[in-house]
A and B are shown apart, each in its own frame.
Chain A
């Protein structure tokens, strides 16, 4: 077992399907296997080489990415400000506000993500309220952390 951020995960073989990978993540823990399969089929998988940008500062129209394998760094004006790993997600602020991201998110390793395009996010969250609730709890934690950092 290794810990990435707040989510504890077990290593997975590379051959796992997206549905298998999703079913191991806390975010999707309340979904049935067929619901997980539907999510995997609807949105599919994006993969990125190390060093590739996933979210781009000032470019609109991206989406929410849930990390299935690998890690990303959040880069603001050339400086790493955060690191995210398996089971964590990013892009939700920009996708919900409709504004372009204010930082780059770069693959720190070979990276696999589930990608939900912004126009489909609202429908996806309303269809899966337990995912919405779990995302909300993570946002609350992130806000708390930001407040603490400011203090």
Chain B
């Protein structure tokens, strides 16, 4: 243990967590030369992927062979599980370990990929060190850990969202949670009642189909919206729903509130009320499972004033994922889903998964570098006439824009003296509320009717106007129609623009 890095002391930034969120943040901080340390309660890298999902298969794809070359930036569009990097040898690590039985990696393949990334990138972590308490001292945060006190200017909590959560529902506290689900064979010939209708409920239901005598999934609210084309469920776990729609076969999926769960001598009794008819249904079950979701392990931060939402499960964050009530406390990884962005037309960001939050982590690292340490990130300038083709190329192929639709934007700042500067990828909310006085942001978004198309946001003297560009069946926005329209929209900003 004498070789463990990062003994207690003073630091600029402390990252807590060694899952994908913590590793990705550390990687970018390191690239920027920001002194920081990483602490983890675990014994090795991987975070939740060291144990979950329960039935060992991810819901996010990695296409080993894709229309573009593996390891390129554009390949990230086809690989939603690898962490991102500059060096070719640590890109697309998820592919290396896949046995290709599915285009979704298994849990252990994902864990190996994360370990490979950490190893090759030379990321250092103090493992076996648990964050136990927090206090404020002058302008510093102090993290109290099992190894001692760490003082720092900023904390990045990349602690995942894998702490079981149960709603306030009589009887639910005695029911096993998703994370305690046994092997499918444990449920042979059993009547299983599953509280919940989200991904984890369907993951369990799918695995139990060959074993259980009867499956009932129940939660208030309609399922239909969860089954839209945007739902990860579609990828793998729709069979229980299919069987229900066809007429049952022992599988029922109900829009019903669960009023209580009673423990009986030989099992359980679940009392439900149908959301629409208000009719009461009572189910006798041998097993009940609570697939009621997870919460962020926030430790003592709520007691120190951390604003939370969703019944305390998530912190309330700024566009750069900083607590709105405790400055200097930042979040990385899946917790960045708490900052939802504009959610135009009801479309969600992808910050719950690695594919989305790997980009959030890069933005966070750059934000920390600038805000805490005054490190100016070198931003390339762009000849004015290149602005339109560059933006349209990004709209056609930029992985950040395609994965974080309507949430992350390519931003160009325009200065009358210095010309056009590429500000990189930034949150759209930041651009429309606090962006450069003169500039343009480009996103890819789902429109009101669900059609995908690029959107330009032009900011002049602080006022923003929005311009939807036409969709294209092959998502190729480099043609003349798009160039002409984009140039037209940008003409107030870029008068010297050469219209093709």
Contact = CB atoms under 8 A, between A and B. Distances in A.
Contacts of B463: 58
A32 interface: yes
A58 B464 contact: yes
A53 to B, nearest CB: 6
A26 interface: no
Interface of B: 167-168, 219-222, 225, 255-257, 259, 273-275, 278, 307, 309-312, 316, 318, 324-325, 340, 342-346, 432-433, 445, 447-448, 463-466
A17 B445 CA distance: 31
Contact of B342 (A15, A17, A48, A62): A62
A135 interface: no
B448 A56 contact: no
Interface of A: prevailing SS: mixed
27 contacts: A33-B257, A34-B273, A34-B275, A35-B278, A38-B220, A38-B222, A38-B257, A42-B221, A45-B309, A47-B307, A47-B316, A49-B307, A49-B316, A52-B433, A56-B342, A58-B465, A59-B344, A59-B466, A60-B345, A62-B343, A98-B448, A110-B325, A117-B343, A117-B346, A118-B345, A118-B346, A118-B448
A63 B465 contact: no
Contacts of B318: 49
Contacts of A129: none
Contacts of A60: 344-345, 448, 466
B221 A53 contact: no
A61 B345 contact: yes
A45 B324 contact: no
B316 A35 contact: no
Given A44-B310, A47-B316, A110-B307, A37 B257 contact: yes
Contacts of B220: 34, 37-38, 41
Interface of A: 15, 17-18, 32-35, 37-39, 41-42, 44-49, 52-53, 56, 58-63, 98, 100, 110, 112, 115, 117-120
A61 B259 CA distance: 36
Contact of B345 (A38, A45, A119): A119
Contact of B256 (A34, A53, A118): A34
Nearest to A120: B346
Nearest to A98: B448
B221 A119 contact: no
Given A32-B278, A41-B220, A56-B342, 8 more contacts: A37-B257, A38-B255, A41-B221, A42-B222, A45-B309, A47-B307, A47-B309, A119-B448
B448 A61 contact: yes
B288 to A, nearest CB: 18
A28 B5 CA distance: 56
A34 B278 contact: yes
A7 B145 CA distance: 48
A106 to B, nearest CB: 10
